Amino acid sequence: MVRALITGLIGLVLLSCSSVVNTGKLTELPDTASVVVLPLENHTETPMAGLRVASLMESVLRTKGYAVEERFWRLKEGDYTPEEIRQLFKEARGKGAGYIFTGSVNEYRYKTGIDGEPAVSITIDLYSTAGGRVVWSAAGSATGWSHESIGTVTQKLLNKLVRK
């Protein structure tokens, strides 16, 4: 009886802070390539989630040694629309970016309930401007502990998704 209770509690603890990641290594992206990160489409109820994740993704890529170009888009009061993101894509391509990261944020919130755990779900696509096609994709979801911020969980998830 006690063993079953302990096993159940351990299982609950392990499920409380979990992540699902579908990605491969980022082998298509040379270390010296010019990289631009665009705002991600926001499919959540959290305002500016796509901008927040894009900003964190720039930093994560830089810490892994990638040459991330200076941001040419600006923070604004609301989210970028899909049409505005397409326009930014054209602009980045015109400025000579070799690779462009885009994607979407599908969940970015604190779950309701007694603990309020952070929950994040994102997809990322890497486009080669030379080939005009997606050369790498990743999708991931993660939840954290109630004492963690949503930014912390997002950084951990991005580090798992963007592996060299």
**C-beta of residue 42 within 8 angstroms of C-beta of residue 105:** yes
- Average pLDDT value for residue range 77-103: 93
84: domain CATH number is 3.40.50
In a domain, 8, yes or no: no
Per the domain annotation, does 37 fall within a domain?
yes
- State the residue range of the domain holding 29: 17-161
- Most confident range (mean pLDDT) of 62-66, 91-95, 103-107, 112-116 is 103-107
With residue 52 as reference, give the H or E element that holds it: helix 49-63
Average pLDDT of 31-60?
A: 94
* Amino acid, res. 74: R
Q: For 121-157, how does the pLDDT look when each residue is reduced to its tens digit (9 = 90+)?
A: 999 999 999 888 999 999 999 999 888 999 999 999 9
Identify the CA nearest to 82 among candidates 42, 120, 48, 44.
42
9 in a structural domain: no
Tokens coding 24 = 């491969």
pLDDT band at 17 (very low <50, low <70, confident <90, very high): low
Examine residue 41 and state whether it is found in any structural domain, yes or no: yes
Q: How confident is the model at residue 77 (pLDDT cuts 50, 70, 90)?
A: confident
What residues pair up with 19 in beta bridges, in sequence order?
142
Output DSSP code: residue 31. Answer: T
| Number of domains observed in the structure of the chain | 1
Q: Is residue 5 part of a domain?
A: no
Residue 6 placed within a domain: no
Cβ–Cβ < 8 Å for 123, 22: no
Do the domain assignments include residue 91?
yes
Is 12 within the bounds of a domain?
no
Nearest to 69 by CA among 88, 47, 83: 88
The C-alpha atoms of residue 28 and residue 121 are separated, in whole angstroms, by 23
pLDDT for res 26: 78
For residue 22, pLDDT beyond 90: no
Does residue 84 surpass a pLDDT of 50? Answer: yes
